[in-house]
Structure 1
Amino acid sequence: MSVFAIYALYSLCALAFIELGSCMYTSEDDVHIFDEASFDEELMKSSDYWLVEFYAPWCGHCKKLAPDWKKAAKDLKGTARLGAVDCDVEKALCSKYDVKGFPTIKVFKEGGSSKVEDYNGARDADGIVSFVKQASDGGSNPYSKIVAMPKYTELFNFLYLSPTEKLRKVILFSTGDASTPSWFANLAVKFKQGKTKTAAFAQVREEDAAQSKAAERFGAKFPSIVICHISGEGEGYYTVMSLEEKHSATVKAAQKIIESIATLEEADRSPMPSFPMPDKPRKQADTTFLHLT
Structure 2
Amino acid sequence: MEFFTNIMWMVDILEVTHEGILKKFEFLKGNLIVGKAGIKGANSEERLPPDQHVPETHILHNLVRGFYKPAGKPYILSYQATESSKNYGKQIIWNDESETEFLHIEMAPPDKENDPSKKSDIAAARYNLNHNIPIGILHKIKKGHNRMLGLGIITSERDDGVFIVEPYSLKDSSLHPLEQLKRLIKNEEINTNFVAEVVQRRGQAIFKKKLLEDSAKCAICGMDEPSLLIASHIKPWKYSSDFERLNKFNGLLLCPNHDKLFDQGLITFTDEGNVIISSFLTPKTKNKLGLTENSWIHLDEAHKKYLLWHRENCFKA
Give the structure-1-normalised TM-score. Answer: 0.32
Give the structure-2-normalised TM-score. Answer: 0.30
